[in-house]
């Protein structure tokens, strides 16, 4: 694969619109740049027939698909391509141009991300590209690959080791909540969702009183203290108090244990910024490409710390507001329960590009019964319906596979779907929602019985 890339003159990168996609695209772009090659890059929501036909017409020397493409690896042989992806895929692929953990019997939902697969190719092309491991870890965190074990595992750990050796990354144990570097402590707790803290999550006043009861100073003059500003003793006190709440509410040791896990620092970035923590970096990227502004995230990944970063931070404010609003909207929509799944329909109330994030957050909140998978529907600009489905590890262990269920159900209705066992998506024609639900239920029923 490295050889094919090296030999090609004009390379067109096609990547996905999320944080992993942008990180993967940036790794590919930087690798080509370092080789002195011409390249172009585009971001797509999904790789459908329309995109593929256009790519065929555009007649690029080589198309490098990153964080997508595995599903179509055997179609369109006329397109000269390489694929670095991690979505579930058929096993009949030609390894010479396709890298995906599933082809090695590994699970792409936590072993390696699209950025990770792209990084391995970059490293194979030139050992000097090991510094790009930082972006690979940002991509993995963007796809929540640390969620299963509260730390990265499998190939991701090898990539982390590369980064630590190269001096660009550091993994260490800390609280797993989002916003350690940039959020006032009360906000970090208010927006906590894995684990959700009954009585505190989503309740600003309760978080403030809780911290005051723990004897934590919220401000130094006008400055709101962040998690990283706290002393070790203060951090330990908060963690023990939250664990206590979880245990007394009957959540059990397994849940309380999820409070602490491995977090990833990008050592060359400034402390106290969104770029210093891999999860926060990933959210910054999600704020760009999911709103049609992928070039903003891409330029930040490629090293801009000036105008593009400023733009990204502005977009981040909008993204945060959209998530809060989307979550509120979804909560007000009634969640309808069926035998094998539950769902809500946001119609035009939530953007199709963030319905997956909202569905995810909702499933980990106390408002939703997590013994059933959750599907969120939203209308797209093209007049179709986007579906995002999420489940818990407990259901996966029972045999649930959302990727194959959604793929099959969407296919029967003339749509397309796929993803991972624990998180999948699909696009289906408008008006087919009820039929889709029934088909997905049928698939899930079979999976759980088998």
Question: What is the contact surface with ligand C5P in residues (CB under 6 A)?
Answer: 16, 18, 20, 46, 67, 87, 109, 114, 143-144, 147-148, 356, 360, 388, 390, 416-420, 422-427
Give the whole-angstrom CA distance, residue 84 versus residue 186: 40
Residue 420 contacts which entry, Zn ion, ligand C5P, none (Cβ below 5-8 A, type-dependent): ligand C5P
Least separation in angstroms between residue 187's CB and ligand C5P is: 21
Name the one range near Zn ion by CB under 5 A: 64-72, 277-285, 311-319, 415-423: 64-72
Q: Is 221 exposed, middle or buried (0-12, 13-18, 19+ CB in 10 A)?
A: exposed
Task: Report if residue 146 touches Zn ion, rule: CB under 5 A.
Answer: no
Query: Shortest distance, CB of residue 388 to Zn ion, whole angstroms?
Result: 14
CB of 132 vs Zn ion, minimal distance in Å: 16
- Minimum distance from residue 33 beta carbon to ligand C5P (Å): 23
Query: Could you identify the residue written with the tokens 């997590």?
Result: 370
Token pair for 193: 């969702």
Nearer to Zn ion, 114 or 163 (CB): 114
Per-residue b or e along 298-328, where b marks 16 or more CB atoms closer than 10 Å to that residue's CB: bbbbeeeeeebbebbbebbeebeebbeebbe
Q: Does 20 bind Zn ion (CB under 5 A)?
A: yes
Q: Which is nearer to Zn ion, 202 or 290 (CB)?
A: 290
Segment interacting with Zn ion, rule: CB under 5 A, options 17-25, 267-275, 339-347, 439-447 = 17-25
Tokens of 63: 């198309």
For the bound state, the minimum distance from the C-beta of residue 114 to Zn ion, rounded and expressed in Å, comes to 4
Asked if 114 is part of the footprint of Zn ion (rule: CB under 5 A), the reply reads yes
Give residue number: closest CB to Zn ion: 20
Nearer to ligand C5P, 146 or 234 (CB): 146
Pair type for strands 423-429 and 384-390 = antiparallel
Say which residues have a Cβ less than 8 Å from residue 194's Cβ, sequence separation at least 6.
147, 176, 258, 364
Q: How far is the CB of 96 from Zn ion (least distance, A)?
A: 22
The entry of Zn ion, ligand C5P, none near residue 87 (CB within 5 to 8 angstroms by kind) is: ligand C5P
If binding is defined by CB under 5 A, does position 67 make contact with Zn ion?
yes
| Residue number, 46 or 80, with CB nearest to ligand C5P | 46
Phi/psi of residue 264, nearest 5 degrees: -125, 125
Tell me if 84 sits within 8 A of 114, measured CB to CB: yes
**The pair of three-digit structure tokens given for residue 260, joined into one six-digit string:** 């602490």
Q: What are phi and psi of 55, to 5 degrees?
A: -60, -35
Residue 423 touches which member of ligand C5P, Zn ion, none, C-beta under 5-8 Å by kind: ligand C5P
- Within 214-347, strands assigned E span 219-220, 223-224, 260-266, 336-337, 342-345
Residues 65, 85: Cα–Cα separation, whole Å: 8
Q: Between residue 170 and residue 229, which ones bind Zn ion under the rule CB under 5 A?
A: none
Q: How many CB atoms lie within 10 A of CB 203?
A: 15
The entry of Zn ion, ligand C5P, none near residue 411 (CB within 5 to 8 angstroms by kind) is none
Options 112-120, 218-226, 292-300, 324-332: segment touching Zn ion (CB under 5 A): 112-120
Q: Quote the least distance from Cβ 93 to ligand C5P, whole Å.
A: 16
- Report, in Å, the least distance between residue 360 CB and ligand C5P: 5
What 8-state DSSP symbol labels residue 340?
Answer: S
User: How many Å separate Cα 171 from the centre of its chain?
Assistant: 19
Q: Which of 107, 111, 143, 181 binds Zn ion (CB under 5 A)?
A: 143
- Of the listed pieces 66-74, 99-107, 159-167, 418-426, which binds Zn ion according to CB under 5 A? 66-74
Q: How far is CA 423 from CA 91, 98, 190, 205, 405, in A?
A: 20, 22, 25, 33, 11
Q: Which is nearer to Zn ion, 113 or 118 (CB)?
A: 113
Q: Which residues bind Zn ion (CB under 5 A)?
A: 20, 67, 113-114, 143
């Amino acid at each position: 694969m490295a050889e094919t890339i090296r030999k090609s003159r004009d390379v067109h990168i096609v990547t996905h619109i999320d944080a992993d996609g942008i990180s993967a695209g940036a790794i590919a772009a930087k690798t080509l740049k370092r080789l002195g090659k011409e390249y172009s890059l585009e971001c797509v929501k999904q790789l459908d027939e329309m995109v593929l036909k256009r790519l065929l017409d555009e007649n690029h020397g080589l198309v490098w698909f990153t964080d997508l493409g595995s599903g179509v690896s055997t179609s369109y042989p006329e397109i000269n391509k390489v694929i670095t992806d991690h979505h579930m895929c058929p096993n009949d692929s030609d390894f010479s141009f396709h890298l995906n953990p599933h082809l090695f019997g590994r699970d792409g939902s936590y072993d390696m991300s699209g950025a990770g697969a792209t990084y391995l190719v970059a490293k194979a092309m030139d050992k000097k590209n090991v510094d790009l491991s930082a972006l690979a870890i940002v991509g993995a965190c963007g796809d929540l690959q640390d969620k299963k074990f509260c730390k990265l595992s499998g190939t991701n750990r090898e990539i982390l080791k590369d980064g630590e050796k190269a001096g660009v990354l550091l993994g260490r144990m800390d609280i797993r909540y989002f916003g350690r570097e940039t959020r006032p402590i009360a906000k970090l707790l208010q927006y906590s969702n894995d684990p959700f803290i009954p009585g505190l999550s989503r309740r600003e006043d309760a978080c403030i009183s809780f911290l005051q009861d723990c004897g934590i100073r919220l401000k130094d003059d006008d400055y709101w203290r962040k998690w990283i500003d706290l002393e070790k003793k203060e951090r330990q006190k908060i963690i023990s108090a939250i664990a206590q709440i979880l245990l007394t509410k009957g959540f059990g040791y397994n849940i309380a244990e999820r409070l602490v896990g491995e977090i990833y620092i990008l050592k060359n970035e400034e402390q106290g910024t969104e770029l210093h923590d891999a999860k926060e970096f990933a959210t910054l990227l999600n704020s760009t490409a999911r709103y049609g502004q992928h070039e903003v995230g891409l330029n930040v990944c490629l090293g801009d710390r000036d105008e593009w970063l400023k733009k990204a931070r502005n977009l981040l404010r909008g993204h945060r507001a959209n998530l809060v609003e989307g979550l509120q909207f979804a909560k007000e929509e009634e969640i309808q329960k069926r035998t094998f799944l539950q769902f809500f329909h946001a119609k035009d109330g939530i953007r199709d590009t963030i319905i997956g994030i909202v569905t995810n957050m909702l499933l980990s909140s106390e408002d939703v019964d997590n013994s059933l998978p959750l599907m969120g529907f939203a209308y797209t600009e093209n007049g179709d319906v986007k579906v995002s489905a999420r489940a818990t590890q407990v259901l996966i262990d029972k045999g649930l596979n959302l990727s194959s269920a959604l793929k099959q159900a969407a296919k029967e209705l003339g749509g397309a779907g796929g993803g991972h066992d624990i998180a999948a998506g699909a696009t289906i024609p408008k008006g087919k929602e009820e039929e889709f639900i029934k088909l997905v239920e049928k698939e899930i029923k079979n999976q759980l019985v088998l």
